[in-house]
Amino acid sequence: MMIADPPTATNKRRAERSLQLALGAARTAYENRGSDVAVLDMRQLTPIFDYFVVATGTSRRQLHAMSEEIDHTLEDELGDQRLGIEGYHESRWILLDYGNVVIHLFDQETRDYYALEQLWARADRVAVPWEASGPSGDK
C-alpha cells in the first residue's frame, strides 16, 4: 500500500480541487445520460492521479456529447485545462486527462472488457450526491 503525503494546506487544497473536478465530470456525464457513473479515489494507490471517473454511453454520439460537455464544465465553468484526449475518433473508450483527474467514457462492451473497476478494486468508490435521487428522470 502506498503512503500518502503528509497533510499540508497545499495537499488539502489539491485534494479538494481534484474532488471538485471529479464530481463535476461525473455529474456532467450523469446529466448527459451516462450510465453506471463511478468516481474512484485513487490517491492511496498511485501518485500519478487522484481520481478516475468512469461512465458508459450507448452510442458514439452520446460518448462525444458527454466528452464535450465534460470539457465545457471542467474548462469553462471550473477553470481547468485538459492535458490530453485519446480515443475520440474511435469512440469506444474516450479518455480525458485532466492531470489529477482522468475520465474514462466507454461503450458497454469496451467497459466490460477492460473492467477498470475490477482492475482497481482497492480504490474507494466516492459517493455521489445524485445517487440518492433515483434514476435520471427523478432528479
- Bridge-partner residues for 93, per DSSP? 106
DSSP states of 29-86 as a string?
Answer: HHHTT-EEEEEEE-TTT-SS-SEEEEEEESSHHHHHHHHHHHHIIIIIIT-----EEE
Query: Could you tell me the domains of the chain?
Result: 34-128 (3.30.460.10)
- Distance between CA atoms of 59 and 51, rounded to whole angstroms? 25
- Return per-residue pLDDT of the chain as tens, 139 residues: 555 556 677 888 988 999 999 999 999 999 999 999 999 999 999 999 999 999 999 999 999 999 999 999 999 999 999 999 999 999 899 999 999 999 999 999 999 999 999 999 999 999 988 775 554 444 3
- Distance between CA atoms of 34 and 65, rounded to whole angstroms? 10
The sign of the torsion formed by the CA atoms of 21, 22, 28, 32 equals: positive
**Which pTM does this prediction carry?**
0.86
- DSSP code at position 98: -
